[in-house]
């Protein structure tokens, strides 16, 4: 091999990551998705999945995927504007718009791409982005790539947001507010009505990320916009098909004009291969199913209430969603607890910086968990003890 020292820094960087306790590696799941999984030879109760309603292993979704592959093949063979568009894509977009009660919707190949491409299409160098400091990576990177001035406001702090708007809004052409609705690593909700009031007052656009809210929040599962009663407000809704909907892909829902504009201006929609027929058909079947079976959502909320009550002595971060987090004082403690849970038959990985500001164990609840699964979690945590010194308690 010809020597070139230009790459030496990568190994050094990895060593630094390891020393900080931030090193990550993948774990192989050997079974179908579900509340109980087979992980590296061991059967574990799964508290690490975003499959909140347990749809990813659902027979009806599998059949939809198989039928789509039989009819349309495995790949979509091109971008939507060239050879990739099928009636299935349009059917899915109509179903999303109908669930969300928006004029139209646009399906992207992932949620990450939906955020990146949409933010890029909406703002540029002369504009201002104000973003919650705990936003998902796709919103953060999407914002950075626009060349706009990006200012973070303190997490869920509308007073801080208002101050930034008052100070900076007038110096820029357009302004875009970005926030997760359900914060994926905390489980709390953004103060949506107040954010929308500020947006109206300061003439700002709002893009909300409903990745963890779609299928889960609101009476019909339309998300936090429904939950907060804000469906008649002007805003842009992004979501993924990959979590409660058990498929892959992302979407934007909004006005017909917005969607038409994105078809012409969102680079991550125009210059990428269309979502595969199987993923598209799966997501379509999932939307039908969440509308037909509200009892799945009810089950999820019942589980959530049970756990919140049973773990009330533990330093849980405030959550109004099926994501529960135990804040811990350092990465080592998070790894120790994750190992203890693993030994107790529970899969709940430690989430550490730089993904989050401080270490935690994140539990995501599924509608398909059994009561005994929840009980086993409570018992395992009780055995470990609550000698945690939570950074946020
Ligand atoms: C809040 C949030 N937004 C966006 C994404 C990206 O979605 P996808 O996994 O569909 O790319 C995720 C998921 O990982 C997420 O948690």
**Are 208 and 311 contained in the same domain?**
no
Average the pLDDT over 152-178 and give the result. Answer: 98
Q: Which residues make beta-bridge pairs with 37?
A: 44
Residue 136: inside a domain, yes or no?
yes
Cis peptide preceding 354, ω within 30 of 0: yes
Identify the domain boundary among 276, 292, 308. 292
For residue 250 and ligand 1, the question of a CB distance below 6 A is answered with: yes
- CA 153 – ligand 1 centroid, Å: 21
Q: Are residues 278 and 211 in the same domain?
A: yes
Q: What is the pLDDT of residues 355-369, one digit of tens each?
A: 888 899 999 999 999
Long-range CB pairs of 343-346, under 8 A, 24+ apart, other chains included: 344/376, 344/379, 344/380, 344/383, 345/42, 345/43, 345/44, 345/45, 345/376, 345/380, 346/44, 346/45, 346/47, 346/376, 346/377, 346/380
Closest ligand 1 atom to Cα of 113:
11
What pLDDT, on the 0 to 100 scale, is given for residue 386?
62
Mean pLDDT over 190-204 rounds to 98
User: Of the candidates 264, 292, 320, which is a domain's last residue?
Assistant: 292
Q: Indicate if 53 and 128 belong to the same structural domain.
A: no
- Tell whether 2 is covered by a domain: no
At 2, the pLDDT band (50, 70, 90 cuts) reads confident
Locate the ligand 1 atom nearest the alpha carbon of residue 250 and give its number.
Answer: 10
Cα 240 to averaged position of ligand 1 atoms, centre (Å) = 6
Lateral strand order in the sheet of 360-364: 323-327, 360-364, 350-351
The answer on 109 and 217 residing in a single domain is yes
235-258 pLDDT, tens digit each: 999 999 999 999 999 999 999 999
**Cα–ligand 1 centroid distance for 135 (angstroms):** 11
Give distance in angstroms: CA of 50 to centre of ligand 1: 10
**What stretch of H or E contains 329?**
none
* 96 has pLDDT over 80: yes
Domain of 202: which CATH number?
Answer: 3.40.640.10
Q: Whole-angstrom Cα distance, residue 211 to residue 223? A: 9
Return the structure tokens found at 167. Answer: 């100070």
| CB-count burial class (<10 Å; 0-12, 13-18, 19+) for 169 | middle
Range from 153-157, 316-320, 384-388 carrying the lowest mean pLDDT: 384-388
Residues 47 and 67 in one domain: no
Q: Is residue 11 part of a domain?
A: no
pLDDT of residue 212: 98
Q: In whole angstroms, what is the distance from residue 223 CA to residue 299 CA?
A: 17
What is the residue range of 339's domain?
29-57+294-384
What is the tens place of the pLDDT at every residue in 20-38?
Answer: 877 888 889 999 999 999 9
Q: What is the dihedral of CA 82, 87, 88, 93, to 10 degrees?
A: 90
Kindly state whether residues 221 and 256 are assigned to the same domain. yes
pLDDT confidence bin for 322, thresholds 50/70/90: very high
Looking up tokens 């990320």 gives: 209
Residue 268 belongs to some domain of the structure: yes
The token pair at 266 is 């969102």
Same domain, 311 and 322: yes
Same domain assignment for residues 224 and 104: yes
Cα distances (Å, whole numbers) of residue 154 to 73, 132, 139: 47, 6, 15
Number of neighbours of residue 317 by Cβ within 10 angstroms:
20
The model carries a pTM of 0.95
Boundary (domain end) residue, out of 258, 292, 326 = 292
Number of domains in the chain: 2
Q: Provide the CATH number for the domain around residue 375.
A: 3.90.1150.10
Q: So what's the pLDDT on residue 387? A: 57
227 lines ligand 1 (CB under 6 A): no
Q: Is the pLDDT of residue 393 over 80?
A: no
Indicate whether 153 pLDDT > 50.
yes
Q: Domain for residue 256, yes or no? A: yes
Q: Verify that 262 and 298 share a domain, yes or no.
A: no
Q: Is the C-alpha dihedral spanning 41, 47, 48, 50 positive or negative?
A: positive
Whether residue 339 is found in the same domain as residue 287: no
Is residue 47 one of the residues assigned to a domain? yes
Give yes or no: residues 288 and 364 share one domain.
no
In the prediction, which pLDDT does 391 show? 54
Predicted local confidence at residue 199, as pLDDT: 98
Distance 3 CA to ligand 1 centre (A): 39
Is residue 7 domain-resident? no
Does 253 fall in a domain?
yes
Same structural domain, 97 and 240: yes
- Which ranges of 311-370 would DSSP assign to H, the alpha helix? 331-343
Q: For residues 257, 203, 228 and 292, what is the CA-based torsion angle, rounded to 10 degrees?
A: 10
CA atoms within 13 Å, Cβ hemisphere of 180 = 26
Average pLDDT over residues 177-199: 97
> Does ligand 1 come within 6 angstroms of the Cβ of 136?
yes
From first CA to last CA, the distance across the chain in angstroms is: 54
- Cα separation, 49 vs 177, in Å, equals 29
Is the pLDDT at 295 greater than 80, yes or no? Answer: yes
């Amino acid at each position: 091999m010809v020597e070139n020292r230009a790459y030496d820094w990568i190994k050094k960087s990895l060593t630094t990551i390891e020393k900080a306790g931030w090193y990550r590696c993948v774990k192989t799941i050997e079974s179908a998705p579900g509340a109980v999984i087979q992980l590296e030879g061991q059967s574990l109760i799964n508290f690490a999945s975003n499959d909140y309603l347990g749809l990813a292993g659902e027979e009806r979704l599998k059949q939809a995927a198989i039928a789509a592959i039989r009819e349309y093949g495995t790949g979509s063979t091109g971008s939507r504007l060239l050879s990739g568009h099928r009636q299935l894509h349009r059917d899915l977009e109509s179903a999303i718009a109908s669930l969300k009660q928006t004029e139209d919707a646009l399906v992207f190949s992932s949620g990450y791409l939906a955020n990146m491409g949409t933010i890029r299409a909406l703002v540029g160098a002369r504009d201002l982005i104000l973003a919650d400091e705990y936003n998902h990576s796709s919103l953060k990177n999407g914002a950075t790539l626009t060349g706009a001035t990006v200012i973070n406001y303190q997490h869920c702090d509308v007073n801080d947001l208002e101050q930034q708007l008052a100070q900076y809004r007038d110096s820029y052409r357009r302004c875009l507010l970005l926030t997760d609705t359900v914060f994926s690593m905390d489980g709390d909700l953004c103060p949506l009505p107040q954010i929308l009031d500020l947006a109206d007052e300061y003439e700002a656009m709002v893009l909300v990320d409903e990745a963890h809210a779609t299928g889960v929040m609101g009476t019909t599962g339309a998300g936090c916009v429904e939950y907060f009663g804000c469906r008649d407000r002007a805003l842009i809704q992004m979501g993924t098909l990959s979590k409660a909907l058990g498929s892959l892909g992302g979407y934007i829902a909004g006005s017909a004009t917005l969607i038409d504009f994105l078809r012409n201006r969102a680079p991550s929609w125009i210059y990428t291969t269309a979502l595969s027929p199987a993923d598209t058909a799966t997501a379509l079947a999932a939307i039908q199913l969440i509308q037909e079976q509200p009892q799945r959502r009810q089950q999820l909320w019942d589980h959530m209430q049970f756990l919140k009550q049973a773990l009330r002595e533990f330093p849980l971060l405030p959550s109004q969603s099926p994501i529960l987090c135990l804040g811990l004082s350092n990465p080592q403690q998070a790894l120790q607890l994750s190992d203890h849970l693993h030994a107790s038959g529970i899969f709940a990985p430690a989430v550490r910086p730089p993904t989050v500001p401080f270490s935690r164990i994140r539990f995501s609840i599924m509608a398909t968990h059994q009561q005994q699964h929840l009980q086993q979690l409570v018992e395992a945590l009780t055995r470990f003890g609550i000698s945690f010194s939570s950074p946020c308690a």
